[in-house]
Structures are given as structure tokens and as C-alpha cells.
Amino acid sequence: MRYRPIEDYALIGDGLTAALVSRDGSIDWACFPRFDAPSSFARILDAEKGGYCSISPAESFDTTRCYLEDTNVLATRFTTATGEAELIDFMPMAAATAPETNRIIRRVRGVAGQVTLNVTFDPRFDYARRDASWELQPGQGARATSGDDALTLFTSVPCAERATGVTATFTVAAGDTTWFTLEYRKRPRLWRVPVPEHLEQVLDETCRFWRHWVEGSQDFGYREAVRRSALVLRLLDYAPTGAIVAAPTTSLPERIGGVRNWDYRYAWVRDTAFTLYAFSLLGQFDEGEAFFEWLLGVVPDGPKHLQVMYGITGEHRLEEFTLDHLDGYEGSKPVRIGNAAYSQLQLDTYGDLLDCAYLLHKAGRPITRDVWAFLRATADYVTRIWQRPDSGIWEMRSPPQQFVASKAQCWVALTRAARIAKARGLEGDVTTWLAHADAIMREIGTKGVHPETGSFRQAYGSDQVDAALLQLQLRKMIKPDDPHMRATVRRIEQELDAARRDSTLGRGLIRRYRTSKVNDGLPPGEGVFLMCSFWLVDCYAEMGRQDEARALFERLLGYANDVGLYAEEFDPYEQRHLGNFPQAFTHVALINAAAGLAEGEGKGRNEAGRP
């Protein structure tokens, strides 16, 4: 079996975990009961061994699909020579289910003529490391059990056991409806197929939940793309704690056949702060307050022990290992579980954290005594460590360097803390914070500028440029008309734009930096980084290059898949998505860029907008 393109997938979720559903109706990735649990379906990482659950026509078919308006409920329309059928896929939100329970509900409805469909239910527990035992109940469904894990497919369609998994075949005519409920539980419930009337009610409740959440979002243009991005980000929020995962997948490659395959099912402080920034632009603040409550719980000893990332319930150790029995997506090995970057020093994390707090402050949201004590201690700590080398925003696996973007984020941390303290009359060593912020600015002006090009450079002493330097402008450290900033944008356009290698490509598809074994400790090669291209849109808008900004933004919208989702990266030569999917960073940057375009046209950002 061939691997489906990454962009062939759509995401559904319940606030505890998520699943990827392909265009042909196959659930090829799902972990139960939470995002970072071992997979039960992982065909996206091994086409033969990974496991899946599919519902698709028995004969050749065409597919169209969409999310129901303003929801995360997926609708797939199959058209065959004999008729049309619609498959609805969704997961009820966590509040509607018992703890340690996940449900994927699938409804097949005949639209025209008649369609015969095949069902395959073939879970492979624990990343396909454990076999399952099977139990079939006529007219009730099939259950797979392995250790404490049990997955039940409740259905009235008769199932038959095969060499691997179970299969079923059924036919729907126009107006017919058939339901399938896939349920994960540690303690399986009694055999009882859910009644259709109840499932219809759950579908209606799920649609209402999503529409109620998103309807409060502010509108600043490109409504459909912005709302879809917001809904994706909300799916990545682990409801019990407020932790936000960077992506719901692991090891989807940044280059086909390459080794840059990482596990993103954890809560990065940076990614969470970026996501909450996007939520704040939309007028959604509850998630930000929940994040700080969660953070205080996982870092009780203060900012000195703040990590780059945590498990979604606060786990500190995320030891990285490989699953060598899995082939990897299109043979891209290794498949990694865990992420060794958790132990790195990444100085930009402190700036992201304080910037997130500053946005809550600007919106008039409460900052509790405990939260401020932590933020004040964070600013104090930054004054002691900002001169250290670090691994940077891109988590390079080479020796630490003096990254300019990291220094800039330390400046952000100190200036944001000072502004909060002054505005709210809170205790803090504002004079010292601002003195160190000035020292950072002076040092970047001397060591952080390339002497020949006049641009900012990736790290002190380096001749490389880095797309992360766009954040110096976007975080208001450097003005858009600053000569060094303009020179930096020119170098990024000249050296990191994919169009420099192929003039037939539209300009503005930006790589993060020049990958190399020397520069970042790994073999070179990856796609363009979509977040960086959206950053460039925002920079163009601030520079007054509005026509270029809008043209690039609309070109980037064209790289979304058919239901509006983006991976981390894009291969402009093969026109395919790369990296973990969907990626929070990309959707965050889309929302920010849309707001930047509105601001550039005089429509303004809301009060939570960037300082």
C-alpha cells in the first residue's frame, strides 16, 4: 500500500486526543486516551504494521470533503458510478465523555442511488508492538483488547474476523443511515450499540460546542481561513490542563527519507505562548489564563527550572527513543518518541512567556499574585542568563551559539515585565530590567550585525541569516524602517527564498536558515517553513509593502489542503506538505498575518494586539 500525502488528512479531536482521517475515509493516526499516549492507529508511520480503521466505497470513487461550518466535524462525500454517500466523522468533546474514554463517531448516509462500502477495523496497540485479542458480537460489533487497552467498534453491521482485524460490508441507499461508534476505554462497557437518536443528539451538541466557541472571535478579514486556524488550534488544547501541543503527530518528516523527524505531542512554552497570542487577537483569553495556572503547577521551583517543553500533564522528563520496527512515513526513519530538546536552554522561551502575560495585561485580564511572583522572578533570572549561548528557537542539535533572535527575546522579556509592573503598580526591579534590556540592544547592535551586508545575523560571528530575525521587528524591538532590518529582509529574500533556486516559483516561500551538519548538527535538507513565510507577510505589511504582503498571504492560503489545514513545512518543488500535521505554529502565524494586513490597511488590531 502506498502512503497518502500528508495533506490528504483532516483532523478531528475531543480535547483529550485527536485522530487523522484520510480523504478515503481511513483513520490512520490516533492515540488513546491522550495526545502523547502510544498509538492504536499508526498507518501513517507504517503502511503495513501501523493499524487503521477505514470506511470507504467498495468500487472506485471520487471524494470531496469539508468541515461543517464553524466546527471540527468532518464531512466526506463519496461519489461512485452507482450513487453518492456521505461520511461524517467527529469526536464528542471531553466534557461529554467519562474520564479515560474517547469516542470517534462515524455516520454514513446515502445521498443518491446506492453505494456499497467496506469497513476495516484493525488497531495495533502500543505503536504496533502488541497484538490484540478479538471478540465479536453479532449485531453489536467487534472489540480488540491488549493488556489494559480496549477498542470497541459498536455497529449493527455484521463483522467478520480476518487474519488481521475485522471487516464488514454494507450498502446504503438514498436516505439510509448507518452509524459506527469507535470507543476506547480501560474498562470496556457492556455490549450495546448506541441508538441513532442519541448519536444524532451528540452530533448536534458537538456542532453547537464548536460554533459557540468560535462565534466570539473577532473578525479582521479572511474569515474562513482565520476561523479554521482558530478551530485547529483549539483542537490542540488538552482540556484537563490547558496545555497546548505543538502538533498531534510524531515523526512526519521534514524531508522525505530524512532524519529530521520529531515528536511534537508535547506542550512547548513557546508554542503555547504563540498560540495564546493568536487567541488574544481573536478576543479569546480564557486559554491564556488556564495556561499560567498550568505552568505554575509544573514549575513550582521558579524560572530557574523552567523547561522548554513539558508533557501535557506536566511531565518533566521526555526521554527520546526510536521505534525501529516502524518503517516511518515513506521510509523516513527514525520514528521518534519523546523529544530530547526538553533539556536544552532556549532563551527565547522567557520572552515568549512574558509577552503572553503582557497581552493578558493589555486586555485587562487579571494577573494573580502567584503569577506575577513567577513573572517577576523570570525577569530577574533573565538578567543573569541572557549572555549565555543557547540552542535557539529552532532547537539545533549542534553546540549552543549566541543566537541574535534569542538575545532579542530576552529584551522582550525584560521590557514586557517592566511595562506590566509600571502599569499595574506591581513590585519589581524595573530599573535593573531596563538597564539589561538596553545592554542587550547595544550588544546586538555591535555583535549581531554582519559587517559587510549590514543585516542582522543568525549568531554572533556567523555569516548566516535566519528567518527568526523577522521577530526583531514583529516584537517591536527594531522599527520597520531601520536600515539593519531592511537589510535583513533583503538577505532573507535573496538567500532563504525558494524562488532563488527556481524562478518559476512565487516569491516569499522562506526557509528557516541554511541547514547543514556544521550549522545545526544534522544532515541538510528540509522544506520551506510556512510560519516564516507568514512572518514575512506581517513584516511587509508593517513596512508599508501592502500589495506584496497581500499577494504573498493569498498565495500562502493556496497551499492549505482542501479543508484549510497546514503542516509545518511545504515542498514547493513537489507541491506537497512536510512535517508534523497540522502544525500549531503555521496556523498561529496565519492568524497573526491576517491581523497584520488589517492593521496595515488601517483597520487596526484589537486591544490585545502586539505592543
CATH number at residue 307: 1.50.10.10
- CA–CA gap between residue 133 and residue 145 (Å, rounded): 5
**Same structural domain, 204 and 310:** no
**Same structural domain, 191 and 243:** no
* Domain extent at residue 263: 216-600
**Same structural domain, 374 and 475:** yes
CATH number at residue 112: 2.70.98.40
SS3 call for 532: helix
Residue 271 lies in a domain: yes
**Same structural domain, 201 and 269:** no
Residue 402 lies in a domain: yes
**Same structural domain, 245 and 261:** yes
- CA–CA gap between residue 58 and residue 484 (Å, rounded): 61
**Same structural domain, 221 and 201:** no
**Residue 145 belongs to what H/E stretch?**
strand 141-146
Of 211, 241, 265, the last residue of a domain is 211
209-259 pLDDT, tens per residue? 999 999 988 888 899 999 999 999 999 999 888 889 999 999 999 999 999
Residue 610 lies in a domain: no
- CA–CA gap between residue 180 and residue 161 (Å, rounded): 17
Closest CA to 72 of 32, 15, 123, 122: 15
**Same structural domain, 395 and 420:** yes
Q: How many domains does the chain contain in total?
A: 2
Please give the pLDDT value at position 595.
93
Q: What are the E-state strand segments in 44-128?
A: 52-57, 62-67, 74-79, 83-90, 101-122
Please give the pLDDT value at position 146.
93
Q: By CB neighbour count within 10 A (0-12 exposed, 13-18 middle, 19+ buried), where does 575 fall? A: exposed
**Same structural domain, 241 and 168:** no
Q: Which three cell numbers stand for residue 452?
A: 559587510
Residue 605 lies in a domain: no
Please give the pLDDT value at position 99.
59
Residue 412 lies in a domain: yes
Closest CA to 561 of 215, 72, 64, 219: 64
**Same structural domain, 205 and 237:** no
**Same structural domain, 195 and 272:** no
**Same structural domain, 165 and 230:** no
Rounded to the nearest angstrom, the gap between the alpha carbon of residue 382 and the centroid of all alpha carbons in its chain is: 28
Residue 607 lies in a domain: no
The pTM assigned to this predicted structure is 0.94
Please give the pLDDT value at position 610.
45
Please give the pLDDT value at position 502.
65
Torsions phi, psi of 429, nearest 5? -85, 70
Residue ranges in the chain whose pLDDT is less than 70: 1, 95-100, 501-505, 518, 603-611
Residue 1 lies in a domain: no
Torsions phi, psi of 335, nearest 5? -90, 120
Closest CA to 355 of 379, 386, 377, 373: 379
Residue 609 lies in a domain: no
**Same structural domain, 468 and 408:** yes
Of 180, 211, 242, the last residue of a domain is 211
Pairing of strands 74-79, 62-67: antiparallel
Of 157, 182, 211, the last residue of a domain is 211
